[in-house]
Structures are given as structure tokens and as C-alpha cells.
Amino acid sequence: MSNDFQLSLRVYYEDTDLAGIVYYANYLKFLERARTEWLRTHGFEQSVLKAQQQIVLAVRQLTIEYLKPAVFDDWLTVSVQVEKHGKASLVLNQTISRDTVMLCTASVKIACLHAQTLRPCPFPLSLLEELQQHG
């Protein structure tokens, strides 16, 4: 998993509040989209992980800092970087920026859970190997 994954996305009117800035909860959606695409680029589809390996990924903890607002029609870059990983969890650093202006930073702890019991379980070996190779 590369430490420099980036997803570009546009801010739509539906993402903004009455003041015309991105509603704070929508930053979480942007972060989630980047994590999903980050996994996809490395061959890991969450629906396939659930169907074939009986695992789901869940946000266990999230710390976010809003630095500057994003507004309608902004072109944003959302990044994903691996900070650390274990057998059943990983911590990702994520940012949202507009050009060179940092708008938001987040630290996200992801847990690997068994799809039926929702109890922690190890990540697939193939995913851990990818983390060790590129993380």
C-alpha cells in the first residue's frame, strides 16, 4: 500500500451548508472515498473481502482537525498514508487539500472484523504483505 495515494474530487453544491462551505460531516465521506479507492488500487475490494474472506473494515477511532474551509466547486486532493499496522488494525494519516492549502488532517484507526461476529480478526495475509512491501 503506497504511502502517497491521492484521490481528486470536486465539491458539489450538495456537499455544502447554508454558508456555502463544505458541511463538516462531508469531510468524513471524502476521507472514506479515498480509503476505498486506495484499497482498490491495490487489488482489495471491500465487497469481495466480505464475500470471500468474511471480513469487514470498520473505523475504530478517528481524530480530525479542520484547518480551512472547502467551498462549492473546489477541486480537492484527499491523501492516504499508512502510519502503522498490526495484525487486526491499522492507522492511516489522511489529508484534504486544495492546491497547496491544507484544509483538513485526520488520523484514522481501522479495525479488521469478522463479518458475522463483528469481532476483531487478522487482516488477510495478502493485505499485510502489501502493507509491509509499500507501507
Catalytic residues: 17
Strands (E), the chain: 5-10, 55-66, 75-85, 89-98, 101-114
How many angstroms separate the Cα of 117 from the Cα of each of 6, 61, 114, 121? 33, 19, 6, 10
Residue 18: strand, helix, or coil: coil
How far does the chain reach from its first CA to its final CA, in angstroms? 5
Residues 6+ apart with CB under 8 A from 18: none
Q: Which helix (H) or strand (E) holds 29?
A: helix 26-41
